[in-house]
Amino acid sequence: MFAQLYPVTFIISLASLTGWFYFRDNEVRSDFFRKIFFGSFAAFGLSWLMADGSFSYKIPALGRELLILALVPVLLSLLRKMKWGYFLALAGMLVVLKFFYFEKLAATFPQPKSDLTEAPNIKNTNPAEAGDYELDPNGELLIEIKDLHQIAEIQDVLNEFGLDATPAFTMKDTESTDLDDYFLINVPPKYEQNLAEVKNALNATGLVEWLEENERIAISPIEATPMRPLPGINKKYGINDPGLENLWGFEAMKVADLYEVLKNIKPVKKALIAILDTGVDAEHEDLKANFTSTKSKYDTDKAGHGTHCAGIAAAVSNNNLGVASFSQNNDFVQVTSVKVLSDGGFGTQQMIINGILEAADAGADVLSLSLGGPSNQARQRAYDKAVQYANKKGAILVVAAGNSNRNAKGFTPANVSGVITVSAVDTLVNRASFSNFVQDLNMAVAAPGVKIYSTFPGSQYQTFNGTSMATPYVSGLVGLLKSLKPDLTTRQAFDILNKTGIETKSKAETGRLIQPGAAVKYLLK
Protein backbone atom coordinates (compact mmCIF):
# COMPACT_ATOMS: atom_id res chain seq x y z
CA MET A 1 0.00 0.00 0.00
CA PHE A 2 2.74 2.49 0.97
CA ALA A 3 4.68 1.66 -2.18
CA GLN A 4 1.61 2.65 -4.25
CA LEU A 5 1.02 5.83 -2.25
CA TYR A 6 4.59 7.05 -2.70
CA PRO A 7 4.41 8.18 -6.37
CA VAL A 8 0.81 9.42 -6.16
CA THR A 9 1.34 11.60 -3.09
CA PHE A 10 4.58 12.95 -4.57
CA ILE A 11 2.83 14.09 -7.77
CA ILE A 12 -0.02 15.67 -5.79
CA SER A 13 2.50 17.42 -3.53
CA LEU A 14 4.40 18.76 -6.51
CA ALA A 15 1.25 19.93 -8.32
CA SER A 16 -0.21 21.66 -5.25
CA LEU A 17 3.12 23.29 -4.40
CA THR A 18 3.25 24.65 -7.94
CA GLY A 19 -0.30 26.03 -7.57
CA TRP A 20 0.57 27.57 -4.22
CA PHE A 21 3.53 29.39 -5.80
CA TYR A 22 1.49 30.60 -8.75
CA PHE A 23 -1.46 31.91 -6.73
CA ARG A 24 0.53 33.28 -3.80
CA ASP A 25 -1.03 36.73 -4.31
CA ASN A 26 -4.57 35.29 -4.20
CA GLU A 27 -5.33 34.56 -0.56
CA VAL A 28 -8.24 32.13 -1.18
CA ARG A 29 -6.57 30.06 -3.90
CA SER A 30 -3.18 30.18 -2.19
CA ASP A 31 -4.73 28.85 1.03
CA PHE A 32 -6.51 26.10 -0.93
CA PHE A 33 -3.33 24.82 -2.60
CA ARG A 34 -1.32 25.23 0.61
CA LYS A 35 -3.69 22.92 2.51
CA ILE A 36 -3.59 20.33 -0.27
CA PHE A 37 0.20 20.51 -0.28
CA PHE A 38 0.65 19.96 3.45
CA GLY A 39 -1.87 17.11 3.47
CA SER A 40 -0.37 15.32 0.48
CA PHE A 41 3.19 15.95 1.66
CA ALA A 42 2.35 14.43 5.06
CA ALA A 43 0.98 11.37 3.27
CA PHE A 44 4.09 11.30 1.08
CA GLY A 45 6.33 11.39 4.16
CA LEU A 46 4.35 8.58 5.79
CA SER A 47 4.53 6.44 2.63
CA TRP A 48 8.31 6.97 2.53
CA LEU A 49 8.73 6.12 6.20
CA MET A 50 6.64 2.95 6.07
CA ALA A 51 7.81 1.68 2.67
CA ASP A 52 9.85 -1.52 2.49
CA GLY A 53 13.55 -0.65 2.32
CA SER A 54 16.67 0.10 4.35
CA PHE A 55 17.37 3.71 5.31
CA SER A 56 20.65 3.63 3.36
CA TYR A 57 18.44 3.12 0.30
CA LYS A 58 15.48 5.31 1.35
CA ILE A 59 17.38 8.48 2.26
CA PRO A 60 18.93 9.02 -1.23
CA ALA A 61 15.49 8.36 -2.76
CA LEU A 62 13.93 10.99 -0.51
CA GLY A 63 16.70 13.45 -1.33
CA ARG A 64 16.02 12.95 -5.03
CA GLU A 65 12.32 13.80 -4.63
CA LEU A 66 12.91 16.76 -2.29
CA LEU A 67 15.30 18.25 -4.82
CA ILE A 68 12.56 18.11 -7.47
CA LEU A 69 10.02 19.62 -5.05
CA ALA A 70 12.44 22.47 -4.38
CA LEU A 71 13.55 23.19 -7.94
CA VAL A 72 10.37 22.89 -10.04
CA PRO A 73 8.29 25.60 -8.27
CA VAL A 74 11.29 27.95 -8.17
CA LEU A 75 11.92 27.53 -11.89
CA LEU A 76 8.25 28.00 -12.71
CA SER A 77 7.98 31.07 -10.50
CA LEU A 78 10.46 32.78 -12.80
CA LEU A 79 7.83 32.53 -15.55
CA ARG A 80 4.89 33.52 -13.34
CA LYS A 81 4.30 36.84 -15.02
CA MET A 82 4.27 35.17 -18.45
CA LYS A 83 0.96 33.34 -18.11
CA TRP A 84 1.17 31.25 -21.27
CA GLY A 85 4.87 30.66 -20.79
CA TYR A 86 4.19 29.46 -17.26
CA PHE A 87 1.54 26.97 -18.28
CA LEU A 88 3.56 25.72 -21.26
CA ALA A 89 6.55 25.14 -18.98
CA LEU A 90 4.29 23.42 -16.42
CA ALA A 91 2.81 21.17 -19.10
CA GLY A 92 6.28 20.33 -20.37
CA MET A 93 7.48 19.39 -16.91
CA LEU A 94 4.40 17.23 -16.34
CA VAL A 95 5.09 15.40 -19.60
CA VAL A 96 8.69 14.80 -18.51
CA LEU A 97 7.52 13.49 -15.14
CA LYS A 98 4.92 11.24 -16.73
CA PHE A 99 6.99 9.67 -19.48
CA PHE A 100 10.54 9.87 -18.18
CA TYR A 101 10.30 9.79 -14.39
CA PHE A 102 6.99 8.37 -13.16
CA GLU A 103 8.01 4.76 -13.85
CA LYS A 104 11.19 5.21 -11.81
CA LEU A 105 9.19 6.91 -9.08
CA ALA A 106 6.63 4.10 -8.98
CA ALA A 107 9.39 1.48 -8.82
CA THR A 108 11.16 3.08 -5.87
CA PHE A 109 9.51 0.77 -3.32
CA PRO A 110 9.72 -1.95 -2.26
CA GLN A 111 13.50 -1.76 -2.29
CA PRO A 112 14.88 -3.90 -5.12
CA LYS A 113 16.39 -7.17 -3.94
CA SER A 114 19.67 -6.36 -5.63
CA ASP A 115 20.02 -3.44 -3.19
CA LEU A 116 18.67 -5.32 -0.20
CA THR A 117 20.21 -8.76 -0.25
CA GLU A 118 23.53 -10.44 -0.57
CA ALA A 119 22.97 -11.51 -4.14
CA PRO A 120 23.66 -10.33 -7.66
CA ASN A 121 20.96 -9.13 -9.99
CA ILE A 122 19.18 -12.11 -11.49
CA LYS A 123 17.14 -12.30 -14.68
CA ASN A 124 16.03 -15.87 -14.04
CA THR A 125 13.47 -16.06 -11.25
CA ASN A 126 14.46 -19.60 -10.29
CA PRO A 127 18.05 -19.73 -9.02
CA ALA A 128 18.05 -23.52 -9.11
CA GLU A 129 17.75 -23.47 -12.90
CA ALA A 130 20.45 -22.58 -15.36
CA GLY A 131 19.80 -18.99 -16.39
CA ASP A 132 21.12 -15.51 -17.03
CA TYR A 133 23.17 -14.58 -13.98
CA GLU A 134 25.43 -11.59 -13.73
CA LEU A 135 28.94 -12.74 -14.58
CA ASP A 136 32.30 -11.15 -13.95
CA PRO A 137 33.06 -9.11 -17.10
CA ASN A 138 36.78 -9.69 -16.54
CA GLY A 139 36.47 -13.46 -16.36
CA GLU A 140 33.14 -15.04 -17.21
CA LEU A 141 34.09 -18.73 -17.10
CA LEU A 142 36.02 -21.17 -14.95
CA ILE A 143 37.33 -24.31 -16.64
CA GLU A 144 39.19 -27.33 -15.31
CA ILE A 145 41.71 -28.93 -17.66
CA LYS A 146 41.88 -32.72 -17.53
CA ASP A 147 44.74 -34.38 -15.67
CA LEU A 148 47.98 -34.78 -17.60
CA HIS A 149 46.98 -32.04 -20.05
CA GLN A 150 47.94 -28.37 -20.38
CA ILE A 151 45.99 -25.21 -21.23
CA ALA A 152 48.27 -24.77 -24.27
CA GLU A 153 46.59 -27.78 -25.87
CA ILE A 154 43.39 -25.78 -26.42
CA GLN A 155 45.19 -22.67 -27.66
CA ASP A 156 43.49 -22.88 -31.05
CA VAL A 157 40.06 -22.45 -29.46
CA LEU A 158 41.34 -19.63 -27.25
CA ASN A 159 42.68 -17.86 -30.34
CA GLU A 160 39.50 -18.45 -32.34
CA PHE A 161 37.36 -16.56 -29.83
CA GLY A 162 40.03 -14.20 -28.52
CA LEU A 163 39.88 -15.77 -25.05
CA ASP A 164 42.37 -14.95 -22.30
CA ALA A 165 43.17 -17.84 -19.93
CA THR A 166 44.93 -17.32 -16.60
CA PRO A 167 45.35 -19.66 -13.59
CA ALA A 168 42.20 -19.24 -11.49
CA PHE A 169 43.33 -20.31 -8.04
CA THR A 170 46.41 -20.14 -5.85
CA MET A 171 47.18 -22.49 -2.96
CA LYS A 172 50.28 -23.69 -1.11
CA ASP A 173 49.56 -27.41 -1.18
CA THR A 174 48.87 -28.33 -4.80
CA GLU A 175 49.15 -32.03 -3.99
CA SER A 176 45.96 -31.83 -1.88
CA THR A 177 43.70 -30.56 -4.65
CA ASP A 178 43.36 -30.26 -8.39
CA LEU A 179 42.18 -26.65 -8.21
CA ASP A 180 45.51 -25.75 -9.78
CA ASP A 181 44.05 -27.22 -13.00
CA TYR A 182 41.41 -24.45 -13.10
CA PHE A 183 41.69 -21.44 -15.39
CA LEU A 184 39.77 -18.17 -15.54
CA ILE A 185 38.53 -17.44 -19.05
CA ASN A 186 37.93 -13.82 -20.07
CA VAL A 187 35.51 -13.63 -23.01
CA PRO A 188 35.72 -10.58 -25.31
CA PRO A 189 32.58 -8.39 -25.49
CA LYS A 190 31.48 -9.61 -28.92
CA TYR A 191 31.00 -13.14 -27.57
CA GLU A 192 29.57 -12.25 -24.13
CA GLN A 193 26.02 -12.48 -25.48
CA ASN A 194 26.65 -15.88 -27.01
CA LEU A 195 28.51 -17.77 -24.31
CA ALA A 196 26.91 -21.03 -25.43
CA GLU A 197 29.04 -20.99 -28.58
CA VAL A 198 32.20 -20.45 -26.54
CA LYS A 199 31.27 -23.19 -24.06
CA ASN A 200 30.49 -25.66 -26.83
CA ALA A 201 33.84 -25.00 -28.49
CA LEU A 202 35.73 -25.47 -25.22
CA ASN A 203 33.90 -28.70 -24.40
CA ALA A 204 34.39 -30.00 -27.94
CA THR A 205 38.15 -30.10 -27.38
CA GLY A 206 37.68 -33.11 -25.12
CA LEU A 207 40.29 -31.63 -22.76
CA VAL A 208 37.96 -29.67 -20.46
CA GLU A 209 37.02 -31.69 -17.39
CA TRP A 210 34.60 -29.08 -16.02
CA LEU A 211 33.18 -25.69 -16.99
CA GLU A 212 31.15 -23.30 -14.86
CA GLU A 213 30.31 -19.61 -14.83
CA ASN A 214 32.11 -17.12 -12.63
CA GLU A 215 29.16 -15.32 -11.08
CA ARG A 216 29.34 -11.95 -9.35
CA ILE A 217 28.39 -11.46 -5.72
CA ALA A 218 27.11 -8.25 -4.13
CA ILE A 219 26.46 -7.68 -0.45
CA SER A 220 24.51 -5.01 1.35
CA PRO A 221 23.77 -5.21 5.06
CA ILE A 222 20.26 -4.09 5.89
CA GLU A 223 20.32 -1.09 8.20
CA ALA A 224 18.21 -1.42 11.31
CA THR A 225 17.02 0.75 14.15
CA PRO A 226 18.79 -0.13 17.41
CA MET A 227 17.14 -2.26 20.03
CA ARG A 228 15.75 -0.61 23.09
CA PRO A 229 18.63 -0.91 25.63
CA LEU A 230 18.44 -3.53 28.38
CA PRO A 231 19.66 -1.53 31.44
CA GLY A 232 21.66 -3.35 34.09
CA ILE A 233 22.49 -6.30 31.87
CA ASN A 234 26.24 -5.83 32.45
CA LYS A 235 25.88 -6.93 36.05
CA LYS A 236 24.23 -10.16 34.94
CA TYR A 237 27.14 -11.00 32.66
CA GLY A 238 29.89 -9.71 34.93
CA ILE A 239 31.61 -7.65 32.22
CA ASN A 240 31.85 -3.91 31.67
CA ASP A 241 31.30 -3.42 27.93
CA PRO A 242 28.75 -0.56 27.64
CA GLY A 243 27.27 -1.84 24.37
CA LEU A 244 26.24 -5.11 25.99
CA GLU A 245 22.86 -3.59 26.78
CA ASN A 246 22.16 -3.57 23.02
CA LEU A 247 22.93 -7.27 22.52
CA TRP A 248 19.49 -8.85 22.83
CA GLY A 249 20.86 -11.98 21.20
CA PHE A 250 22.95 -12.74 24.28
CA GLU A 251 19.71 -13.29 26.16
CA ALA A 252 18.26 -15.53 23.44
CA MET A 253 21.46 -17.59 23.36
CA LYS A 254 21.85 -17.67 27.18
CA VAL A 255 25.40 -16.34 27.03
CA ALA A 256 25.40 -15.87 30.82
CA ASP A 257 25.42 -19.69 31.07
CA LEU A 258 28.41 -19.81 28.72
CA TYR A 259 30.38 -17.30 30.80
CA GLU A 260 29.71 -19.38 33.89
CA VAL A 261 30.97 -22.53 32.15
CA LEU A 262 34.13 -20.82 30.89
CA LYS A 263 35.18 -19.47 34.30
CA ASN A 264 37.26 -22.54 35.16
CA ILE A 265 38.27 -23.64 31.66
CA LYS A 266 41.51 -22.94 29.83
CA PRO A 267 41.77 -23.28 26.05
CA VAL A 268 44.09 -25.77 24.41
CA LYS A 269 44.91 -23.13 21.78
CA LYS A 270 43.73 -19.71 20.64
CA ALA A 271 41.58 -20.48 17.62
CA LEU A 272 41.84 -18.24 14.57
CA ILE A 273 38.63 -17.02 12.91
CA ALA A 274 39.05 -15.64 9.40
CA ILE A 275 36.46 -13.14 8.21
CA LEU A 276 36.22 -13.45 4.40
CA ASP A 277 34.62 -10.16 3.48
CA THR A 278 35.29 -6.50 2.66
CA GLY A 279 38.27 -6.34 5.01
CA VAL A 280 38.38 -5.52 8.72
CA ASP A 281 39.37 -2.30 10.48
CA ALA A 282 42.35 -3.71 12.37
CA GLU A 283 42.70 -0.56 14.47
CA HIS A 284 39.13 -0.57 15.79
CA GLU A 285 39.19 0.04 19.52
CA ASP A 286 37.16 -3.08 20.25
CA LEU A 287 38.96 -5.41 17.83
CA LYS A 288 42.69 -4.63 17.73
CA ALA A 289 43.60 -6.58 20.87
CA ASN A 290 41.99 -9.69 19.33
CA PHE A 291 43.14 -9.06 15.75
CA THR A 292 46.07 -10.66 13.94
CA SER A 293 46.99 -9.62 10.42
CA THR A 294 47.13 -12.00 7.47
CA LYS A 295 48.14 -9.25 5.03
CA SER A 296 48.24 -5.53 5.72
CA LYS A 297 46.11 -4.78 2.65
CA TYR A 298 43.22 -6.67 4.30
CA ASP A 299 43.37 -4.59 7.49
CA THR A 300 41.11 -1.74 6.39
CA ASP A 301 37.42 -1.77 5.56
CA LYS A 302 35.75 1.04 3.64
CA ALA A 303 32.42 -0.80 3.34
CA GLY A 304 32.08 -1.73 7.02
CA HIS A 305 30.50 -5.15 6.44
CA GLY A 306 33.58 -7.17 7.39
CA THR A 307 34.27 -5.08 10.50
CA HIS A 308 30.69 -5.53 11.68
CA CYS A 309 30.99 -9.31 11.28
CA ALA A 310 34.38 -9.38 13.03
CA GLY A 311 32.95 -7.69 16.11
CA ILE A 312 30.14 -10.23 16.37
CA ALA A 313 32.61 -13.11 16.17
CA ALA A 314 35.45 -11.80 18.29
CA ALA A 315 35.07 -8.33 19.82
CA VAL A 316 37.28 -7.77 22.85
CA SER A 317 35.19 -8.42 25.93
CA ASN A 318 35.41 -6.76 29.34
CA ASN A 319 37.55 -3.83 28.14
CA ASN A 320 35.06 -1.11 29.05
CA LEU A 321 34.55 -0.42 25.34
CA GLY A 322 31.88 -1.25 22.82
CA VAL A 323 30.47 -4.76 22.65
CA ALA A 324 31.40 -8.26 23.78
CA SER A 325 31.80 -11.69 22.22
CA PHE A 326 31.48 -15.27 23.47
CA SER A 327 34.94 -15.28 25.06
CA GLN A 328 34.80 -12.94 28.02
CA ASN A 329 38.52 -13.16 28.84
CA ASN A 330 39.75 -13.12 25.22
CA ASP A 331 42.00 -16.18 25.61
CA PHE A 332 40.00 -18.46 23.35
CA VAL A 333 39.81 -16.86 19.89
CA GLN A 334 41.42 -14.24 17.71
CA VAL A 335 40.26 -12.84 14.40
CA THR A 336 41.86 -12.09 11.06
CA SER A 337 40.73 -10.77 7.69
CA VAL A 338 40.98 -12.13 4.16
CA LYS A 339 39.52 -9.58 1.76
CA VAL A 340 37.46 -11.28 -0.96
CA LEU A 341 35.11 -8.40 -1.78
CA SER A 342 35.80 -4.92 -3.09
CA ASP A 343 35.31 -1.71 -1.13
CA GLY A 344 31.90 -1.48 -2.78
CA GLY A 345 30.94 -4.96 -1.55
CA PHE A 346 31.35 -6.75 -4.89
CA GLY A 347 33.19 -9.96 -5.61
CA THR A 348 33.17 -13.09 -7.73
CA GLN A 349 33.09 -16.80 -7.12
CA GLN A 350 36.76 -16.98 -8.09
CA MET A 351 37.71 -14.29 -5.55
CA ILE A 352 35.82 -16.05 -2.77
CA ILE A 353 37.28 -19.46 -3.55
CA ASN A 354 40.77 -17.98 -3.61
CA GLY A 355 39.99 -16.45 -0.21
CA ILE A 356 38.99 -19.86 1.16
CA LEU A 357 42.29 -21.34 -0.04
CA GLU A 358 44.29 -18.42 1.38
CA ALA A 359 42.59 -18.52 4.76
CA ALA A 360 43.11 -22.27 5.01
CA ASP A 361 46.79 -21.87 4.11
CA ALA A 362 47.09 -19.15 6.78
CA GLY A 363 46.07 -21.68 9.43
CA ALA A 364 42.56 -20.39 10.14
CA ASP A 365 40.47 -22.73 12.28
CA VAL A 366 37.17 -21.21 11.22
CA LEU A 367 36.28 -19.45 7.97
CA SER A 368 33.32 -17.08 8.28
CA LEU A 369 31.60 -16.20 4.99
CA SER A 370 28.76 -13.69 5.29
CA LEU A 371 28.18 -13.65 1.55
CA GLY A 372 26.76 -15.66 -1.33
CA GLY A 373 24.41 -15.57 -4.25
CA PRO A 374 21.95 -17.58 -6.33
CA SER A 375 23.47 -20.62 -8.00
CA ASN A 376 22.87 -24.34 -8.16
CA GLN A 377 24.75 -27.48 -7.33
CA ALA A 378 25.76 -27.98 -10.96
CA ARG A 379 27.69 -24.69 -10.81
CA GLN A 380 29.80 -25.12 -7.68
CA ARG A 381 32.35 -27.86 -8.25
CA ALA A 382 35.22 -25.47 -7.54
CA TYR A 383 33.57 -24.53 -4.24
CA ASP A 384 33.31 -28.20 -3.31
CA LYS A 385 37.01 -28.68 -3.93
CA ALA A 386 37.92 -25.53 -1.98
CA VAL A 387 35.89 -26.66 1.03
CA GLN A 388 37.57 -30.06 0.90
CA TYR A 389 40.97 -28.38 0.77
CA ALA A 390 40.15 -26.21 3.80
CA ASN A 391 38.79 -29.20 5.72
CA LYS A 392 42.03 -31.08 5.12
CA LYS A 393 43.85 -28.13 6.65
CA GLY A 394 41.62 -28.43 9.73
CA ALA A 395 39.28 -25.52 9.02
CA ILE A 396 35.51 -25.39 9.44
CA LEU A 397 33.47 -23.18 7.10
CA VAL A 398 30.43 -21.26 8.36
CA VAL A 399 28.36 -19.45 5.71
CA ALA A 400 25.28 -17.25 5.45
CA ALA A 401 21.98 -18.70 4.20
CA GLY A 402 21.18 -15.48 2.28
CA ASN A 403 18.64 -12.68 2.58
CA SER A 404 16.16 -13.39 -0.22
CA ASN A 405 13.37 -15.16 1.70
CA ARG A 406 13.86 -18.20 -0.52
CA ASN A 407 15.20 -21.73 -0.32
CA ALA A 408 18.89 -21.65 0.56
CA LYS A 409 19.52 -24.78 -1.52
CA GLY A 410 19.55 -22.43 -4.53
CA PHE A 411 22.31 -20.20 -3.07
CA THR A 412 26.07 -20.71 -3.03
CA PRO A 413 28.08 -21.27 -0.87
CA ALA A 414 25.11 -21.95 1.43
CA ASN A 415 24.34 -25.12 -0.54
CA VAL A 416 27.92 -26.40 -0.78
CA SER A 417 28.54 -29.78 0.80
CA GLY A 418 30.62 -29.61 3.96
CA VAL A 419 29.72 -26.14 5.27
CA ILE A 420 27.54 -25.11 8.20
CA THR A 421 24.85 -22.75 6.91
CA VAL A 422 23.29 -20.10 9.15
CA SER A 423 19.77 -18.67 8.98
CA ALA A 424 18.66 -15.57 10.90
CA VAL A 425 16.01 -15.24 13.60
CA ASP A 426 14.38 -12.06 14.86
CA THR A 427 13.83 -10.79 18.40
CA LEU A 428 10.79 -13.07 18.77
CA VAL A 429 12.87 -16.08 17.66
CA ASN A 430 10.94 -16.41 14.41
CA ARG A 431 12.71 -16.78 11.09
CA ALA A 432 13.65 -13.25 10.06
CA SER A 433 11.40 -12.09 7.22
CA PHE A 434 14.37 -11.76 4.83
CA SER A 435 16.21 -14.95 5.81
CA ASN A 436 16.45 -17.82 3.36
CA PHE A 437 15.04 -21.07 4.75
CA VAL A 438 17.32 -24.05 5.28
CA GLN A 439 15.20 -27.18 5.72
CA ASP A 440 16.66 -28.75 2.58
CA LEU A 441 20.28 -28.44 3.69
CA ASN A 442 22.19 -31.12 5.60
CA MET A 443 23.93 -28.88 8.14
CA ALA A 444 22.13 -25.68 9.14
CA VAL A 445 21.55 -23.79 12.37
CA ALA A 446 20.12 -20.42 13.38
CA ALA A 447 21.44 -17.34 15.18
CA PRO A 448 20.18 -13.82 15.88
CA GLY A 449 20.23 -11.69 12.72
CA VAL A 450 17.93 -8.73 13.39
CA LYS A 451 18.94 -5.49 15.12
CA ILE A 452 22.51 -6.69 15.63
CA TYR A 453 24.76 -4.06 17.19
CA SER A 454 28.48 -4.41 16.47
CA THR A 455 31.72 -2.74 15.47
CA PHE A 456 32.02 -0.42 12.48
CA PRO A 457 35.12 1.23 10.94
CA GLY A 458 36.59 4.22 12.71
CA SER A 459 35.92 2.80 16.20
CA GLN A 460 32.22 3.29 15.63
CA TYR A 461 29.25 0.96 16.18
CA GLN A 462 26.23 0.29 13.99
CA THR A 463 23.08 -1.84 13.95
CA PHE A 464 22.32 -4.08 10.96
CA ASN A 465 20.05 -6.96 9.95
CA GLY A 466 21.01 -9.98 7.87
CA THR A 467 22.10 -13.57 7.79
CA SER A 468 25.48 -11.84 7.46
CA MET A 469 25.13 -10.92 11.12
CA ALA A 470 23.88 -14.33 12.23
CA THR A 471 26.81 -16.13 10.61
CA PRO A 472 29.65 -14.71 12.76
CA TYR A 473 27.75 -15.64 15.92
CA VAL A 474 28.06 -19.26 14.81
CA SER A 475 31.64 -18.72 13.64
CA GLY A 476 32.54 -17.30 17.04
CA LEU A 477 31.04 -20.30 18.81
CA VAL A 478 32.72 -22.81 16.50
CA GLY A 479 36.00 -20.98 17.10
CA LEU A 480 35.43 -21.33 20.84
CA LEU A 481 34.81 -25.06 20.44
CA LYS A 482 37.94 -25.42 18.30
CA SER A 483 39.99 -23.68 21.00
CA LEU A 484 38.96 -26.46 23.38
CA LYS A 485 39.20 -29.32 20.88
CA PRO A 486 41.46 -28.31 17.97
CA ASP A 487 40.81 -31.46 15.93
CA LEU A 488 37.04 -30.89 15.90
CA THR A 489 35.56 -31.63 12.46
CA THR A 490 32.73 -29.85 10.71
CA ARG A 491 30.32 -32.74 11.23
CA GLN A 492 31.19 -32.98 14.92
CA ALA A 493 30.74 -29.24 15.37
CA PHE A 494 27.37 -29.26 13.63
CA ASP A 495 26.16 -32.26 15.64
CA ILE A 496 26.98 -30.41 18.86
CA LEU A 497 25.27 -27.19 17.74
CA ASN A 498 22.23 -29.14 16.57
CA LYS A 499 21.90 -31.33 19.67
CA THR A 500 22.33 -28.45 22.12
CA GLY A 501 20.39 -25.80 20.18
CA ILE A 502 16.79 -24.95 20.97
CA GLU A 503 13.81 -24.96 18.62
CA THR A 504 12.73 -21.66 17.13
CA LYS A 505 9.16 -20.74 16.34
CA SER A 506 9.98 -21.56 12.69
CA LYS A 507 12.10 -24.61 13.45
CA ALA A 508 11.72 -26.36 10.08
CA GLU A 509 12.82 -23.26 8.18
CA THR A 510 15.67 -22.13 10.44
CA GLY A 511 17.34 -25.07 12.11
CA ARG A 512 17.99 -24.88 15.85
CA LEU A 513 19.05 -21.67 17.59
CA ILE A 514 22.58 -22.05 18.95
CA GLN A 515 23.11 -22.21 22.72
CA PRO A 516 26.82 -21.60 23.40
CA GLY A 517 26.90 -22.66 27.05
CA ALA A 518 25.15 -25.96 26.36
CA ALA A 519 27.45 -26.56 23.37
CA VAL A 520 30.63 -26.14 25.42
CA LYS A 521 29.25 -28.39 28.18
CA TYR A 522 28.44 -31.09 25.62
CA LEU A 523 31.91 -30.84 24.07
CA LEU A 524 33.62 -31.27 27.43
CA LYS A 525 31.46 -33.98 28.94
Catalytic site residues?
277, 305, 468
Full 3-state SS string of 403-436: CCCCEHHHEECCCCCCCEEEEEECCCCCECCCCC
Decide: 449 and 466 in contact? Cβ < 8 Å: yes
Q: How many CB atoms lie within 10 A of CB 478?
A: 31
Q: How many CB atoms lie within 10 A of CB 197?
A: 11
Which of these, 75, 25, 118, lies nearest to 434 by C-alpha position? 118
Question: Is residue 482 classed exposed, middle or buried when 0-12, 13-18 and 19+ CB atoms within 10 A define those classes?
Answer: buried
- Look at the alpha carbons of 107, 110, 111, 116 in this order and tell me if their dihedral is positive or negative: negative
d(CA 255, CA 271): 19
d(CA 403, CA 118): 6
DSSP string, 277-314: ES---TT-TTTGGGB--S-GGGS--SSSHHHHHHHHHH
Classify strands 182-186 and 164-167 as parallel, antiparallel or unpaired.
antiparallel
Q: HSE-up of 244 (CA within 13 Å, CB side)? A: 26
DSSP string, 27-69: HHHHHHHHHHHHHHHHHHHHHHHHSSS-HHHHHHHHHHHHHHH
d(CA 312, CA 449): 11
Which of these, 448, 383, 447, 372, lies nearest to 410 by C-alpha position? 372
d(CA 326, CA 481): 11
- Laid out side by side, the sheet with 512-513 consists of 333-339, 271-277, 366-369, 396-400, 420-425, 444-448, 512-513
SS3 category, 346: strand
Strand partners for 377: none
Structure-derived torsion over alpha carbons of residues 342, 348, 350, 351, reported in degrees to the nearest 10: 10
Strand partners for 448: 425
d(CA 185, CA 109): 38
> Residue 104 corresponds to which amino acid?
K
Q: How many CB atoms lie within 10 A of CB 237?
A: 21
* Helix, strand, coil share of the chain (percent; to 5): 45, 15, 40
d(CA 453, CA 312): 8
